[in-house]
Chains A and B, each alone.
Chain A
C-alpha cells in the first residue's frame, strides 16, 4: 500500500472497496517487504547485517555505548551489561563478556571516566570495576528520588552530557496517572549524585539524547495529550503536555508554581498561547506512517562514514521495526523539524541504536510484551552504508514564505522546476485528554514557485497557505534526480511550530 492510498483510505469510511488483490498475491521468494514497502529500494544503499548472539545469551538490548578500547557496551532489559569485542568486524565476529548482572532493566548506558553511568528502572547508578577483573563490583546509587511502585513506570536516561548530567525521563504510573513522586517528569542527575527537576508533563517516554546543537530531546508516545508520537525538547522548566503530573510541583520549588491546566479537545497551537510552559512537539511522527512507538535515537557524528546524513538523528520504532531520520532547527526560540523514512525490515522491535567508530549503526531490541512486527524475540543488527548515495530528501528547513528542501543528489531541473512536483498537505492533531487523535484540520498548501540552487541539490519553495502549528507533509513522488532516479522515500513531514521571520543560515 503506498502512502497516497493510505491517506485516501484514512479519509474514507467506505471500506467495501477493499480489493482482494493482496490475497491473490503470490508469495515471492525475494527479500521481505515491510512497512513502507521500500526495503528493496533501500538495500542497495544501506544493508542490514545480523550480529550473531550465542544461544546461551538472551540479549534484549535496551542501551548501547562505546568503550575507549573499541568494545561495544550493551545494557539489556534482563539487567545485564555485556562488553562485546568484534561486533564491528566484517563479517561480525562478536565475543561477549558479561560485565555486570542482576540489574533492573538497563535503559541507558554511558561510559564516562572509567565507569558506566546507567539508568535502570529503579535508579541512576555508577557501575565500576574496582579490582580490574573485568567484572563490575561497585554499584553506587546516584539518584533514586522518584517513586517506583506501579505498573509501566519505565524510566529512560541520556548518556552523560558535556556538563556531567544524565537526563532522566520517567513514564507515568500505569502510563496514565502519576501516583508516586515525579512520575511524568524529567530530572537531571549529575555524576556527583545531585538531582534537579527539568520538566513535567511527560507521558510515556523512550529514548533521550541531544541533537546536533547539544539540546536534549526525548521520544514521546502517542496517547492522552499526545495526538501522535513525537520528539520533544526537554526544556528546563518546561511542561511537556500531559498535566496529570502537576501534583509534584510542591516537591520542586525551583520549578515555580504548576502551569495553567491545558484545555482538552484543543490544539497545541492554541494551548501554547495559554500555557506558557507548554513545549510543543518538535517533530511529530504521523502515527503509523512514521512509526507507532518511537524508541532510542542517536546522532550521526560519523563525518560521512554513514552516508550523507551527518548530524541527523536516527530513531527507531519498536512496533514496526523500522528506522527513521529526524532533523531539528530552532525558529523564533522554538525547536521544530522534520522526520523522514530511512530503513525498514529489522528483525525485532527496536529499542536502542549506536553509531560505531567505523560509521556503522548498531541497532537492537526485543519483541516481548507489546505487539511488534519484527519476528525475533531479540536481535542485534548492524546497518552499514554501502558507499552508494541514495537519492533522498536530505533535510527540510522552514523559510519565511515556504521551505528549503535539500537533496542528497542533484535533481532533474525539469521535474524539480515544476511547482506541482512538490505536493503538500497540512494537518494537526487534537490536543486532548483522550487517547491519541485523528489527523484533523487538513489543508492543501500550494507551492507557488521553486528556485533551484545552482548545484541543483536544493529547492527553495514559496508556499501559499503555510499553517503555523501544522505538520506539513511532503509528497515528492514525481521528483527525479538528475540521473532520472526516483526518491527512495518520497515523503517527509515537517512540524511547523513557528514560521521564521527572516532567512537565516
Chain B
C-alpha cells in the first residue's frame, strides 16, 4: 500500500509539530527548578506560584484589553473589506486589497518599527492604544480571509429578493446578510483575539512601559528560576487557545454549512 507510507510520514510530521506542546506540560508539572530531563516528580506548585506574580496579573489584564479591542476593530474593518472585495468590482481593487493584505507576509518587526517611528514623530505617547493600532493592522488580513469565504458563499438572490420585498440596503444587511455571515464574524473575532493575545514584537516596540502577556513571558526567560512558572502559564495558554480555536472552527464550519458552501479547509 502506497498510501500507508504517506500516513506514517504524516503522523511523524504531526509529532514534530506537536513536540513542544507535548513537552510543555511535562515541565509545568515537574517538581524541579531546572528545565531539563530527567523529570523529578509531580507537582502543581508552579501553577500556584503564578498567582504570586503581581506583574503577571497586570500583563493579563492589559493583554485582554488589547486583544478584545483589536479583535472587534479588526473584524469591523474586515467586514467592510471582505464585503467590498466579494461583492463589487472597483478601480484599483488589486492594489488596494494587496496593501490591506500585506501584513500577512510582511515581517512584524517592519510593521513595529515603521509605526514606532511615525508615532514618536507625531509626539504620541506609547500606550496600550498604540499596540492596538498595530494589532488591528496585522489581524485584519486574517479576518478578511475568514470573512471572504463567508461572504462568498452568500447567495446573491437572497439579497435581491429582500430588495424586491421593499427592504433598504441597510435593513437587508441587518436582516439577511448579517445573520448568514454571523458564524464567520464570530470565528474572525476569536482568531483575531488569539493572534493579538500571542503577538510579541509589536507589543515589545509599541507598549512603552506597559507589560503585555508575551512581553512579560519574554522578560522572564532571562531568569532561569522564573521559567517553571512560565511553563505552567504556557500550559494554561495552550489549553485556552485550543478551546478558542475549536470554538472558532465550529462556527466557521457552521457558517459554511448554513450558506450551503463547500468546506475548503482551514483558516489560512
A and B form one complex: no
